[in-house]
Structure 1
């Protein structure tokens, strides 16, 4: 009996936080979306070009950011784990530095790089007589998301790579396997749980990131900005609630699938 009471006391803070910051807000969103707008709000998301394009653009952008982040971070993480060189600690620290910045600051970084007065614009004036700009577009948002996504995956890959069984690699080399075969059959399967986990977090973060999109939101139509517009400018609370639930549902499905795949991968690996 005492153990049951202790378990309840220990889990009580988590239950309070879950109810206050998750359960109650979600229930309120469902109520607003159905009572004020009805099921038509969800139908409009799939039938009206503005909302459907926003949803598809967000999912596509998040998937692309995740794929590119995984590719770059896997190569970088393996290199940083396997090789020692002068300045390695500084480089790792610089790679993790973006985690300290909020989305608005990262948006300003993109503007400084590819805005009207940015580095690319000045280079374009010198080389072609015209400004090269992409900060205020989906391309600028892509680079902004990529900037804060890569560190998350790199650190995860480095942690997983340090636990690799090098005896398996040596065994593969002794059997005549080349580098690509060792990477495909030994390294990648060992890294797969970490890649799935970090990739799902990367996708979820890109789906809901608002600060960077808000800073660059001149010609950008992604779900966080659409929700903000519907809520603040159009006072369409039902549609804002429905879009929020759709965003949360897509993100939850991604995380659930990643967890299931990760668990099955670990189980298969013993």
Structure 2
């Protein structure tokens, strides 16, 4: 009786996954192998120089965004979780506000900040007589990805900090440990599950994000834009499908590794 009830509980989620994940992914995999290259299309990220370069650039960008996000968000989370002051709630709300913005809006914000008529360009032109413009490059995309990754990581790490027993840090300090040693030997190891989980989320989001890249794509080659170009401009459905499957597999592999190192807490990220 218990088993039958459990099956009834999982049935809606199973039907949803079948209809909106398994069937579409299977169809996409078949489309990817339907081109002239057949199954060889799935190896184009190795055999095709441009595809390989774009994949490596996407991996490097996602890794850089993940590291920068973890460093900034961890520092902010440690401060916010340990201090209570007037306006703290408002500050946390402002830091998590980017969660409400779609990627296209973030792209426009980067253009307003670092575009040809952006604020940074106007200030640099007034100071040194030369406009600094980086919105339409990898630097602009990095800034955009960092902007929408920070809130996700910040929330997760703050929750992790609040679960740490303060007595552990107090015991370390009473034994003569300096603040840096407490951070390195006590706080960060205790935060490992939260850091790995949030890092996996940041990496996966950066690998597949499209809206911001589409808005800024003047001189940007990342996998989502390559797939979009193959699908819409070249009408190369097989290549686009194969690249989409490969992108998904690479991201899934990264999440799998993160879960292996971070434990079950990374399940939410995958």
- Aligned equivalents of 1:114, 1:86: Cα separation in 2: 32
Q: Is the 8 A contact 1:192 1:265 kept in 2?
A: no
Q: Secondary structure at the match of 2:85?
A: coil
1:62 equivalent in alignment to 2:62: yes
Deviation at 1:187, TM superposition (A): 0.3
- TM-score with structure 1 setting the length: 0.95
1:81 paired residue number? 81
1:131 equivalent in alignment to 2:131: yes
C-alpha deviations, 1:209-263, integer Å up to 9, x for none?
A: 0000000001000000000000011011111011101110111011111111112
- TM-score with structure 2 setting the length: 0.95
- Cα gap change, 1:264 to 1:10, in 2 (>3 Å): closer
- Aligned equivalents of 2:192, 2:94: Cα separation in 1: 25
Q: Is the 8 A contact 1:106 1:144 kept in 2?
A: yes
Matches within 5 A, 1:136-215: 136-215=136-215
Matches within 5 A, 1:1-270: 2-36=1-35, 37-263=37-263
Q: What is the root-mean-square deviation of aligned Cα atoms in Å?
A: 1.4
Q: Is the 8 A contact 1:30 1:242 kept in 2?
A: yes
- Aligned equivalents of 2:219, 2:107: Cα separation in 1: 14
- Aligned equivalents of 1:247, 1:44: Cα separation in 2: 12
Q: Give 5+ residue unaligned stretches, structure 2.
A: none
Q: Give 5+ residue unaligned stretches, structure 1.
A: none
Aligned pair count?
265
Deviation at 1:20, TM superposition (A): 1.3
